[in-house]
Amino acid sequence: MVLSHQSMEEELARDVCTLLQREELDPEFQVNDVQYIHAQVKLVKCSVKNISVDISFNQMTGPSALCFLEQVDQLIGQDHLFKRSCILIKAWCFYESRILGAHHGLISTYALQILVLNIINVFHSSLPDPLAVLYKFLDYYNAFDWDNYCVSINGPIAISSFPQTDSTHNNGNKSLLSQEFLRNFRDMFAFPMKEVENGADEFPIKHLNIVDPLKSSNNLGRSVNKELPFLMELKGLEKYLRYQEKQWVGDLRSSL
């Protein structure tokens, strides 16, 4: 992350991109695939020794979100169930379904993590391991009414209820994260986030609507430019996984 004066943000991002593009000619650093993403959040992407690197500008929300997710993982426990589930589901979304990548009009990593957190927060009592989280993830979001509801970590919120951003139902399940925990964390990071960011406080309705737990006016699904491909991929993943489950059960029975 790079901090600068707001008026210099775009110019600095382009300068960083140009500097990295020059380094592509130097075999010592092995810098490749440098690109500047001109979006609401300015981003320079590259690969250094085959490791993907994202450089953002004036995004204090990044460190805040990282701290939040770390605290959440510690609270959930179960041998880092949240982190392991995120790794598994991210791998599926990136390598199998190709629905991960905000700069391509797909879902962002942070949005995916919040989708996973919603599943664990609401259904934690029936999720003993990451594979169970993956099953529930596919089953829940495949049936989710994306046209009329948005996702929050406490369950669905009716789009018609905005600017109200509190979930009114979560299938009778008791959330793992208390409202006090979320409120304290939001208050802790509210000032620095407002200090750097500007823009409207109204939640923008998009094809995919996901409420940021740290900033209720931030739609984490704003990068998805079409709803249908995302849902089609989820359905395909679910069908494949159920097919694989039958194969595993069959192999297990044949070995007994």
Question: What are 172's two structure tokens?
Answer: 């009778």
Q: pLDDT confidence of 252, banded at 50, 70, 90? A: very low
Q: Are 39 and 103 in contact (CB under 8 A)?
A: yes
Once rounded to an integer, what is the mean pLDDT over residues 191-200?
48
In this predicted model, what pLDDT tens digit does every residue of 161-189 receive, in sequence order? 876 666 655 555 678 888 888 888 888 76
- Beta bridge pairs of residue 211: 219
Quote the CA–CA distance of 64 and 71 in Å, as a whole number. 11
The owner of tokens 């797909």 is: 106
Angle at which helices 61-76 and 109-123 cross, to 10°: 30
Once rounded to an integer, what is the mean pLDDT over residues 77-98?
89
Sign of CA dihedral 58, 63, 65, 66: positive
Instruction: Sketch out the chain's domains with CATH numbers.
Output: 6-56 (no CATH), 61-247 (1.10.1410)
Residue of 174, 185, 239 whose CA lies nearest to 66: 185
In this predicted model, what pLDDT tens digit does every residue of 5-54 receive, in sequence order? 777 888 999 999 999 999 888 888 889 999 998 877 788 999 998 888 98
Q: Are 150 and 156 in contact (CB under 8 A)?
A: yes
Radius of gyration of the chain (CA): 20
Q: What secondary structure letter does DSSP report for 80?
A: T
Full DSSP string of 42-67: -EEEEEETTEEEEEEBS-THHHHHHH
Quote the CA–CA distance of 34 and 230 in Å, as a whole number. 27
Give the global pTM.
0.75
Residue of 27, 18, 62 whose CA lies nearest to 48: 27
Q: Are 217 and 162 in contact (CB under 8 A)?
A: no
Q: Are 132 and 88 in contact (CB under 8 A)?
A: no
Question: What are 28's two structure tokens?
Answer: 């010592």
Q: How many helices (H) and strands (E) does the chain have?
A: 7, 7
Q: What secondary structure letter does DSSP report for 103?
A: G
| Percent of the chain residues topping a pLDDT of 70 | 78
